[in-house]
Chain A
Amino acid sequence: MDLAVRTRKWLRLGSLFLLCLALLPGLGGCQRGSKSGGQALCIAGSTSVQPFAEKLAEVYMHQHPGMRIDVQGGGSSAGIFAAQQGAANLGASSRELVAAEKNLHEISIAWDGIAVIVHPSNPLNNLSLQQLRQLFQGKITNWQALGLPPHAIDLITREEGSGTREAFEHLVMGKTLITPAALVQDSNGAVREIVAGDPYSLGYISAGLVDERVKAVAIDGVMPTRENIKNQKYKLVRRFLLVSREPPAGECKAFVDFILSPQGQGLLEAEGLVGVK
């Protein structure tokens, strides 16, 4: 074979290989799981549930080699739809089912509470839901409006796409938008770090991650304690659900049982949620 032809052939092969590498992340998901043979489960839905489902799947797959669990995002509605269509074994939802979706089997796996936090030196103890909304709408920008010594408020929010932000928007903001003047951090830990260092800041994080370096504020007079989150006295709470078309059976049931077992619930609590058991 002539050199030029051979070079061209190798080039073509090489670039094909690289192309495959580049395209791999774009594929994946459920199809890849089911094609690889063996046992495979697919969970799709809420991006708020996704990191927790990934964590659970990782531990479960470690304990059950040969078992494969694919966790996908897409949003609660997409997950519920996928479960209805049977495209996913389990749909993950961070909102309650509406009437038309009640034919699905729902399994609640955890409570997610959001705590509003300030610096420990801040005398603020209570906010109404209304005040909280006005704060994040950018209508209250000075501590003076809340009866404290005058100073600009350093507002901290989470990035778009964050589950905690999605929940906060749903529970507090309603249809209104979070002000673009708010600082944005990409994790609960980063928000907590800034609030711990800045006496004039106010932010929100998962209730399970509040520690002694920051102070949680009561909302409408209710503190975000485990009990108040569980019995939903605290306002900023939502339920994480898994839904399925049929009652879970076989491998699916085994995984759901694992989530509801003390170990699974412990994993969720360690990540900042409140267990259902």
Chain B
Amino acid sequence: MDKGKFVERVFFLLALSSISSLVIITIFIFEEGLPLILHTGLKDFIFSTHWAPTKGYFGIGAMIVSSILVTLGAMVLGVPLGLACAIVLAEFSSERLRRLLKPTLELLAGIPSVVYGFLGVIWLVPLIRDHLGGPGLSLLAAAVILGIMILPTVISISIDALTAVPDVYRDGSIALGATEWQTVRRVVLPAASSGIITAIILGMGRAVGETMAVIMVAGNALKIPSSILDPVRTLTSNIALELGYAAGRHREALFATGIVLFIIIMILNFSATIITRRR
């Protein structure tokens, strides 16, 4: 056996081991969580809003709604900001400025989420409490923090999508007498749309999956919120909050929450993949 073949095989095995860990994690989550879903029934588990696991009530409806609301809030704040940033960097700025700003923005992704959460607690939460009312720990606080956290994902993938649009498109449009803005809006953005949608979906995945920062600023109450100033609990927070001393059915219920989360993330990632492939 020559050396090249051998190295190739070693790498093949290493690659397989990383995939098998994904498979094992999947099996493990389902094995631990499915018994509870079968026990309470899928309908009751997903649609009931009564969560008192130590007393036998396992409804995660309120948390699903809260997760969706927090994610939508983060999208409303993060997507326009991120997209505007990406357009400016990709289309309207000099190469030098881009080389300075893009790494700076990507640095945002390297900040640990607990730091975002901490900033949220000591700065954003009192601000909301004093000026808007409510306890401060709220849907709004979580959405703002997540909106900032998804920026690097949205921006860097959008920039890649925009720069992938061939220059002949731009030249052609300019030659037809369109202004630069018209070119971006009518030609470049539509041409890059699938990449931008992918960026938004991956940003969504990041927002749904974020845990630490959300636990710290969202207040974690079990009610379906009636205003953006109400505290909320997301699916991820639920798992992390209660994992510590959960036993028996309660522990299974947390794994079952993980299954729901897992499926949501899978759907988001698959749709991102499909949209990218279609291009």
Contacts and interface: CB of A to CB of B under 8 A. Distances in A.
Nearest to A181: B223
A243 B148 CA distance: 52
B246 interface: yes
Contacts of A47: 245, 247
Interface residues of B, number: 43
Chain A interface size, as a band, is: 35 or more
Contacts of B28: 22
A197 B219 CA distance: 14
A136 B101 CA distance: 50
Nearest to B135: A154
A193 B118 CA distance: 12
B245 A18 contact: no
Contact of A160 (B24, B137, B221, B242): B242
Contacts of A160: 51-54, 242, 246, 250
A182 B135 CA distance: 10
B146 interface: no
B135 A18 contact: no
A177 B233 contact: no
Given A73-B245, A166-B54, A198-B135, A184 B222 contact: yes
A201 B135 contact: yes
B244 A161 contact: yes
Interface in A48-84: 50-51, 73-75
B258 interface: no
B174 interface: no
Interface in B10-66: 12-13, 16-17, 20-21, 24-25, 28, 49, 51-55, 62
Nearest to B220: A184
A11 B24 CA distance: 13
A15 B54 contact: no
Interface in B129-160: 129, 133-137
A27 interface: no
Nearest to B13: A10
A7 interface: yes
Given A47-B247, A186-B215, A159 B242 contact: yes
Contact of A186 (B133, B221, B241): B241
Contacts of B250: 160-161
Nearest to B246: A161
Interface string A174-190: 00010011111110000
A183 B20 contact: no
Contact of B221 (A11, A22, A184): A184
Contacts of A185: 220
Given A18-B20, A160-B54, A197-B126, A182 B221 contact: yes
B203 interface: no
Contacts of B137: 183, 194
Nearest to A19: B24
A183 B233 CA distance: 9
B136 A198 contact: yes
Contact of B54 (A74, A152, A161): A161
A74 B246 CA distance: 9
Contacts of A19: 24
B231 interface: yes
Interface string A149-179: 0001010000111110010000000000100
B9 interface: yes
Contacts of B241: 159, 184, 186
Nearest to B121: A193
A10 B15 CA distance: 13
Given A11-B16, A152-B133, 4 more contacts: A7-B9, A19-B24, A161-B244, A194-B135
The 4 A-B pairs at the shortest CB distance, nearest first, are namely: A180-B222, A154-B135, A184-B220, A47-B245
Interface of B: 9, 12-13, 16-17, 20-21, 24-25, 28, 49, 51-55, 62, 121, 125-126, 129, 133-137, 215, 219-223, 231, 233, 240-242, 244-248, 250
29 contacts: A7-B9, A7-B12, A7-B13, A10-B13, A11-B13, A18-B17, A47-B245, A51-B245, A152-B133, A154-B135, A159-B242, A160-B51, A161-B54, A161-B242, A161-B244, A161-B247, A162-B245, A177-B52, A180-B49, A180-B223, A183-B137, A184-B220, A184-B233, A186-B215, A186-B242, A186-B244, A194-B135, A198-B129, A198-B135
Interface of A: 3, 7, 10-11, 14-15, 18-19, 22, 47, 50-51, 73-75, 152, 154, 159-163, 166, 177, 180-186, 193-194, 197-198, 200-201
